[in-house]
């Protein structure tokens, strides 16, 4: 069963789709800890608890990106998709804890 995604329909080679997805993960890696460094929200600005919670999430995006580039097969994409959704949920919890605490 092939992986159905927007990139799959727009770009046919899986390697190109994996490269575009990895580039987007790298953007998320850079933007995730941004509220710690830039005063977007007062509760997250220089909040060390938020930084400690969000850095592992950001590093997981790098790890997923690397795994995706190494093996863009449909089976690996499905496996990494479930991992990405888990990492996104953990990131949401990190933001929630940062806002509340």
% of residues, the chain, pLDDT over 90: 67
Environment class of 68 (CB within 10 Å of its CB; exposed 0-12, middle 13-18, buried 19+):
buried
| Model confidence band, residue 46 (pLDDT cutoffs 50, 70, 90) | very high
What count of Cα atoms within 13 Å lies in the side-chain half-sphere of residue 39? 1
CA nearest neighbour of 35 among 47, 25, 45:
45
Please check the confidence at residue 5 and state whether its pLDDT lies above 90.
no
């Amino acid at each position: 069963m092939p992986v159905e995604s927007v990139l799959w329909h727009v770009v046919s080679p899986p390697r190109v789709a994996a490269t575009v997805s990895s580039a987007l993960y790298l953007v998320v890696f850079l933007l995730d800890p941004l509220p710690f460094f830039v005063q977007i929200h007062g509760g997250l600005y220089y909040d060390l608890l938020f930084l400690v919670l969000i850095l592992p999430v950001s590093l997981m995006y790098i790890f997923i990106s690397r795994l995706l580039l190494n093996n863009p097969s449909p089976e690996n994409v499905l496996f990494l998709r479930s991992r990405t959704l888990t990492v996104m949920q953990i990131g949401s919890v990190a933001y929630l804890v940062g806002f509340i605490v």
